[in-house]
Amino acid sequence: MSGMASDCNSSSQEEYLPHYMQQEDPFASKLSREADIIAGFYLTVIGILSTLGNGYVIFMSSKRKKKLRPAEIMTVNLAVCDLGISVVGKPFSIISFFSHRWIFGWMGCRWYGWAGFFFGCGSLITMTAVSLDRYLKICHLAYGTWLKRHHAFICLALIWAYATFWATVPFAGVGSYAPEPFGTSCTLDWWLAQASVAGQAFVLSILFFCLLFPTAVIVFSYVKIILKVKSSTKEVAHYDTRIQNSHILEMKLTKVAMLICAGFLIAWIPYAVVSVWSAFGQPDSVPIQFSVVPTLLAKSAAMYNPIIYQVIDCKFACCRSGGPKTLQKKSSLKESRMYTISSHRDSAALSGTQLEV
């Protein structure tokens, strides 16, 4: 009986054809023209805001590039990933939505899928590195101070190598990039899992190394930080005032990092759920009109971070008390980029100030 079931299962896998092979034109939009126009306008707004926001973060960072701390360098890398998604990827999908079909063919589809996965993976791994940095600085004060600029650049090299490897693996014949069921966008070929055991292994590897493992590290880091906060006041009380103020600022800036990670995961998890269901659920059981919503939500992730930075910067400015000294600090604080995740421990402008998040 088990042999018959196995034969039946392998037979069903061999007979399965993904949606892009069932149709004569896989790049024709399956949505109404009105829905495509709405999606096109939505992505245009998202693309403009994320390009301007992340471009501003990179520009302000370039003015003081030699003074950037390790975690600030990680934040700039996150902005580079978000800007890459906006500049390299979004124009393809915007033009296609307005054209009511994907107009760039299979080569453009594979390039778009690669770029989206490359920059998306880079963003998540960067946030994983940031979460570990926050964990060291909050939970292990004695070890958090050894992180230097050259460690950050080594970490950047590893992040880009990691993202390049996993984004390029599909071109080695173990996976692929394919059009989405609604036709006007492309992504990893999640549907390979329906066709073969090798396809299932490919999809499971992508899910583990590019989603589950980084997310687990992020959750672990911030859970440990939250648990540590309860006892941190007693521990820091043994240090001098300067270190106490710096530690308070580190914890509050950690909330910013947590907010950034939460925004990214909220944007991408619905898409991940739909992708997993497409890979391992009933074949073609996800309605086309439903599958487009998580895709559009995921494409908005690149817009959130600059907004978070600016909101935190404004709240910081509002909570400062008035007075001549405060006015003198204003330009200094702007230079310090309070929308970054790390703090300047040696800056007199920050050492006596509380950041309320």
Which range, of 217-231, 247-261, 307-321, averages the lowest pLDDT? Answer: 307-321
d(CA 11, CA 159): 40
* Residue 5 domain flag: no
- The tokens for 87 are 């500049």
Q: Does the residue 355 lie in any domain?
A: no
* Mean pLDDT in residue range 175-204: 91
Assess whether pLDDT exceeds 50 at residue 353: no
**101 bridge partner residues:** 28
109 vs 257, higher pLDDT: 109
- pLDDT at position 352 over 80: no
What's the chain's Rg over C-alpha atoms? 23
Identify whether 74 is part of a domain.
Answer: yes
| Percent of residues in the chain assigned helix, strand, coil, to nearest 5 | 75, 0, 20
Give the pair of three-digit tokens for residue 142. Answer: 């004695």
Rounded to 5 degrees, φ, ψ at 239 are -95, 170
**Average per-residue pLDDT in the chain?**
79
Q: Is residue 269 part of a domain?
A: yes
The pTM assigned to this predicted structure is 0.79
Lowest mean pLDDT among 15-24, 26-35, 321-330: 321-330
Question: What is the band of 156 on the pLDDT scale with cuts at 50, 70, 90?
Answer: very high
Is it the case that residue 295 has pLDDT exceeding 80?
A: yes
How high is the pLDDT of residue 194?
86
Instruction: Quick: pLDDT tens for 199-251.
Output: 899 999 999 999 999 999 999 988 888 887 766 655 555 555 655 556 566 66
**What's the pLDDT at 253?**
65
What confidence score (pLDDT) does residue 325 get?
A: 42
- Measured from the Cβ of residue 91, the count of other Cβ atoms closer than 10 Å reads 14
Helical packing angle, 213-236 and 241-280, nearest 10°: 160
- Whether the pLDDT of residue 100 is over 90: the answer is yes
The range of the structural domain enclosing residue 254 comes to 25-232+240-318
In a 10 Å sphere around its CB, with 0-12 CB exposed, 13-18 middle and 19+ buried, how is residue 320 labelled? middle
Q: What is the pLDDT of residue 15?
A: 66
Q: Band of the pLDDT at 145, cuts 50, 70, 90?
A: low
At 321 the pLDDT is 41
**pLDDT (0 to 100) of residue 104:** 95
Query: In whole angstroms, what is the distance from residue 203 CA to residue 199 CA?
Result: 6
Which residue did the predictor score with more confidence, 85 or 173?
Answer: 85
**Would you say residue 290 has pLDDT above 90?**
no
Has residue 9 been placed in a domain? no
Number of domains in the chain: 1
Amino acid 55: pLDDT: 92
If we measure between CA atoms, which residue out of 217, 84, 59 comes closest to residue 163?
Answer: 84
Indicate which CATH number applies to the domain containing 51.
1.20.1070.10
